[in-house]
Amino acid sequence: MGESVPSDVEADKLEEILTDDASTLVPNDAADPPAIVETKISPDIREKYEIYSYRNAAVVLSESHPQEFGELLGALRDFSITTTMIRTAGGNESDIPKLLSTVLRPLGWYETTIQGDLLVKLLWREQVSTTKAGKPVFGPKSREVRRANYLDGHKIDYAKGKVAFDLEWNSKDQTFDRDLYAFSAFAQCGVIDVAVLVTRSESLNDIFRRLGPSLKKDGSVETKPNGQERLTMEKYGASTTWMGKLLYRLNAGRNGGCPVLAIGITPKCISDWNDDDTA
């Protein structure tokens, strides 16, 4: 009898166990040395965010794409959220992702989808005639095989030049697989050289626990079906997009050959919070 194949639910539970391991919360040897990030990214950005570079992403961005990198750093430098934004429902469609889109869209960062056919050329030589002496004469032959829509549907939320960017604030963590696969496909086709992916830092979790109940979009307190208040922390579960889930995938090489700069949003991005605040 062959080995049993785990169900999707069992697989999710297994990955949850694996990513609960503290070792998955830090980059492994697949990541670049921290000194590279320190050299290529200014101190004010490093103090505000948690940053990791894979496959020399920080070097590629700073040296090969300084304009695009400068625009992203400018948007991140001005990025500021509030506790009300954090508490309010909306997931990845909340006001938080819109803070970056309102800055980047006017600068030419557009949602981009890749589509392409695969064209394969078969080349060989075959006998086409003979000489008077009876020796075979060979000539070149070829045939083309085309596979329509070989690449179809891979989407990146923000792309400019050969740089990709995305923000995952509070989606299902499997969204990272989609993002990294898209980055890899774009890079393999030569469409992009590098990608930047922003998500929540684990350091936000303590604040989520202290913010009290979550809010509906109209500002009223959100409740569960049993009438109890829904806590803000309950919206930001372990199976949503946060840095631990991203590092787990980057450590495993799910970005393929695409360099990725992983950036985590920390409490220093919250304008109306200080360590003395309580719920």
Residue ranges and CATH numbers for the domains of the chain are 15-115+153-269 (3.40.91.20)
pTM as predicted: 0.83
- Contact between 199 and 243 (Cβ < 8 Å): yes
Q: Where residue 274 falls among pLDDT bands split at 50, 70, 90?
A: confident
Neighbouring residues of 86: CB distance < 8 A, sequence distance ≥ 6: 96, 204, 207, 208, 211, 232, 270
Residues in the chain: 279
Residue with tokens 């992916």: 197
- Contact between 31 and 59 (Cβ < 8 Å): no
pLDDT tens for residues 180-225? Answer: 999 999 999 999 999 999 999 999 999 999 998 999 888 899 888 9
Supply the DSSP string of 120-146, one letter for each residue: EEEEEEEEEEE-TTS-EEEEEEEEEEE
- Contact between 194 and 236 (Cβ < 8 Å): no
- pLDDT value of residue 95: 86
